[in-house]
């Protein structure tokens, strides 16, 4: 039985950073705090990058696994 998880650690942590960053941005914007708003934007951008890297890593792993299955390994 194959128990593949739909997401890897980088994807999950990236999504968390995206969400927390969006919240900080919004709070900073509404509170008139440009430092908090920028901190949120930076954290969201880092989350975008981490999630993208995790997704790419997962896709490469899946492709390698598929090739291995086709080769009978």
Whether 27 maps to a domain, the answer reads yes
In the prediction, which pLDDT does 69 show? 86
Would you say residue 4 has pLDDT above 70? no
In the prediction, which pLDDT does 1 show? 40
In the prediction, which pLDDT does 72 show? 80
Residue-wise pLDDT for 8-65, tens only, equals 999 999 999 999 999 999 999 999 999 999 999 999 999 999 999 999 999 998 899 8
Handedness of CA 42, 44, 48, 54 (dihedral sign): positive
**Helix boundaries (H) for 1-73:** 9-31, 34-70
Whether 47 maps to a domain, the answer reads yes
pTM of the model: 0.78
- Domain containing 37 equals 9-59
Whether 64 maps to a domain, the answer reads no
Whether 69 maps to a domain, the answer reads no
Q: Which two tokens stand for residue 32?
A: 């008139």
Q: Which two tokens stand for residue 39?
A: 């901190």
């Amino acid at each position: 039985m194959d128990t593949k998880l739909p997401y890897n650690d980088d994807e999950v942590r990236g999504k968390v950073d995206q969400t927390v960053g969006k919240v900080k941005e919004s709070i900073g914007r509404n509170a008139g705090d440009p430092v908090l708003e920028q901190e949120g934007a930076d954290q969201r951008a880092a989350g975008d990058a981490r999630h993208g890297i995790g997704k790419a890593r997962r896709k490469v792993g899946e492709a390698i696994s598929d090739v291995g299955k086709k080769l009978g390994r």
